[in-house]
């Protein structure tokens, strides 16, 4: 049997030097390349080598600019896109392979500066209100975090790994910043203060406008199915008995399995995923066995939910007609509809592999969630324009507005008011560190010790006083005798 020889010299990620630096300081034209160099050390034999490169977390097929001869696929267990190709190497041949991607690991500077100015405008607008002190604290915190992101992103010459990890941290901070800006916007709405045409914040319940949740988004009523082909092979010249275990995507549950292919179904509590398995498969020398597992295609966002959000967005835009927010509402509605149409178009592509289909579905979930957040922002605009969100929902669903619905629309019905909203935001995620926690514990223990000691002294004094009184009574009785 011909031996397969592959030497992987190195796998490296680096930034290209053809980035377009805009005046704002953002790196919108920057790209990232993943490069692998493979070599065949044989003096006489050719080798056909399978090469697989996992793309960095956050990269999807849409961000791949140039994949060369690589086929882009998806590993649903690792939740990562990958690139694969087979390379034919001549004796002593060395080949460099690369995948070029969009540099997604930077938050556009104009977005950050826009958020900062928006927060400053709201702080200024709410000066003199009963919320001015709390808004100043929250607003200053928002501005400080944005400035730190800007400062760190402007650092040059960072290693790619540090750049990516820094971006993940910045994205998490930015998410909290947008929630805090959403609170500031709600307070401005509550005080009937115009914010202009832009609503840039998010609320903790922003996705509610789309009705999105993992259980709802999965189309359990779909009649389509997908098939997973699982292979067991024996490359040895002798008979073999081996186990087989194959993890299913995390969304799959036993009730969605149409045909298990003769395999049993198990559950891994550590990975929170189901799998199909067989404890012992008997294979003859050089034999291959294929097992086909057929599952309902739950990796499709139901068209009914997409249509509902589209209709709701159109109705909201209509309700803002004639107001100073009409243009912004129309633009936001068109953005939502375009994003949802893109999801529908992607879901019509049936020519991709099952793995790629699942990866695209997970990417579409994120887009659907973003559309829901934009719909929530559109609701903000309609409320400030004096329109009715409840009526828009009723028109979409064909149902009357529930009693009390209109009263809950004052500030998107977040359920709490200014100071409480601000206090919840200010202390979000700021638990004391370990050292501080131990100091607090020892302070409490010390306080309890002092109280216990004082209690003991008082108790001892009371006993002594009682004994003295009793002694005096005894002496008095003796004198009388």
Count up the domains in the chain and report the number: 4
Domain end (from 52, 81, 102): 102
Residue 440 covered by a domain: yes
Helix, strand or coil, per DSSP, at residue 251? coil
116/182 same-domain check: yes
67/14 same-domain check: yes
CA 185 to chain centre: 23
Structure confidence by residue, pLDDT tens digits, 48-62: 888 888 888 888 888
Query: Helices 389-397 and 303-319, interaxial angle, to 10°?
Result: 140
What's the pLDDT score for residue 113?
92
DSSP 398-447: T-PPPTTTGGGGTTTT-SS-HHHHHHHHHTTT----HHHHHHHHHHHHHH
Domain end (from 268, 296, 324): 296
What are the start-end ranges of the H helices in 248-386?
303-319, 326-347, 354-384
Residue 95 has pLDDT above 70, yes or no: yes
Residue 43 has pLDDT above 50, yes or no: yes
Structure confidence by residue, pLDDT tens digits, 214-227: 445 677 667 889 99
84/124 same-domain check: no
DSSP 29-67: T-EEEEEEEEE---SS--EEEEEEEEPPTT--GGGEEE-
What are the start-end ranges of the H helices in 191-320?
214-217, 303-319
444/465 same-domain check: yes
Residue 340 covered by a domain: no
Cα–Cα distances (Å) from 76 to 116, 246, 286, 343, 370, in that order, read 38, 12, 29, 19, 22
143/78 same-domain check: no
Residue 4 has pLDDT above 80, yes or no: no
Domain that holds residue 69: 7-102
25/113 same-domain check: no
What's the pLDDT score for residue 65?
92
| Beta carbons of 83 and 53 less than 8 angstroms apart | yes
| Beta carbons of 40 and 59 less than 8 angstroms apart | no
290/236 same-domain check: yes
Name 196's Cβ contacts closer than 8 Å, sequence gap at least 6.
121
81/149 same-domain check: no
Residue 456 covered by a domain: yes
Number of residues that make up the chain: 481
Residue 458 covered by a domain: yes
Range ranked top by mean pLDDT from 299-303, 392-396, 399-403: 299-303
| Beta carbons of 378 and 333 less than 8 angstroms apart | yes
Compute the average pLDDT of residues 81-95.
Answer: 91
97/174 same-domain check: no
| Beta carbons of 50 and 5 less than 8 angstroms apart | no
| Beta carbons of 313 and 336 less than 8 angstroms apart | yes
Residue 273 covered by a domain: yes
Residue 391 covered by a domain: no
| Beta carbons of 284 and 239 less than 8 angstroms apart | yes
Residue 359 covered by a domain: no
Global pTM value: 0.64
Domain end (from 254, 278, 296): 296
With vertex at residue 479, the alpha carbon angle to CA 478 and CA 480, rounded to the nearest 5 degrees, is 90
Residue 454 covered by a domain: yes
């Amino acid at each position: 049997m011909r031996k397969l020889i592959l030497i992987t010299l190195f796998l490296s990620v680096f930034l290209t030097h053809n980035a377009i630096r805009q005046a704002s300081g953002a790196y919108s034209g920057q790209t990232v390349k993943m490069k692998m160099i493979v070599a065949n050390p044989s003096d006489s034999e050719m080798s056909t080598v399978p090469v697989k490169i996992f793309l960095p977390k956050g990269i999807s097929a849409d961000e791949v600019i140039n994949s060369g001869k690589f086929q882009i696929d998806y590993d649903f267990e690792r939740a990562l896109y990958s690139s694969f190709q087979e390379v034919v190497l001549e004796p002593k041949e060395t080949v460099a392979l690369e995948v070029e991607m969009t540099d997604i690991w930077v938050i556009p500077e104009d977005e950050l500066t826009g958020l900062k100015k928006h927060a400053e405008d709201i702080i200024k607008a709410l000066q003199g209100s009963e919320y001015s002190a709390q808004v100043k604290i929250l607003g200053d915190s928002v501005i400080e975090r944005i400035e730190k992101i800007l400062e760190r992103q402007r650092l040059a010459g960072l290693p790619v790994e540090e750049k990516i990890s820094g971006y993940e941290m910045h994205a998490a901070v930015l998410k909290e910043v947008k929630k805090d800006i959403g609170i500031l916007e709600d307070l401005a709405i509550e005080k009937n203060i115009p914010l202009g045409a832009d609503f840039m914040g998010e609320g903790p319940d922003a996705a509610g406008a789309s009705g999105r949740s993992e259980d709802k988004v999965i189309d359990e009523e779909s009649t389509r199915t997908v098939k997973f082909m699982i292979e067991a092979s024996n490359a040895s010249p002798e008979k073999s008995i081996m186990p087989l275990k194959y993890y299913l995507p995390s969304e799959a549950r036993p009730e969605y399995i149409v045909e298990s292919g003769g395999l049993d179904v198990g559950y891994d509590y550590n990975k929170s995923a189901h799998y199909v398995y067989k404890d012992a498969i008997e294979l003859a020398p050089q034999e291959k066995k294929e097992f086909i597992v057929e599952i309902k295609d739950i990796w499709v966002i139901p068209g009914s939910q997409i249509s509902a959000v589209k209709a709701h967005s159109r109705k909201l835009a209509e309700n803002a007609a004639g107001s100073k927010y009409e243009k912004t509402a129309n633009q936001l509605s068109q953005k939502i509809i375009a994003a949802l149409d893109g999801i529908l178009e992607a879901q019509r592509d049936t020519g991709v592999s099952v793995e790629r289909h699942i990866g695209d579905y997970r990417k579409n979930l994120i887009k659907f969630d973003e559309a829901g957040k934009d719909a929530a922002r559109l609701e903000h605009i309609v409320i400030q324009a004096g329109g009715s969100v409840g009526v828009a929902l009723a028109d979409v669903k064909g149902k009357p507005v529930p009693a009390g619905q209109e009263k809950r629309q004052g500030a998107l019905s977040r359920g709490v008011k200014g100071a409480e909203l601000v206090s919840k935001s200010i202390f979000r995620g700021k638990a004391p560190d370990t050292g501080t926690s131990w100091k607090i514990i020892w302070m409490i223990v010390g306080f309890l010790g002092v109280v216990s000691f004082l209690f003991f002294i008082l108790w001892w004094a009371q006993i002594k006083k009682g004994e003295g009184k009793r002694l005096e009574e005894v002496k008095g009785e003796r004198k009388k005798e």
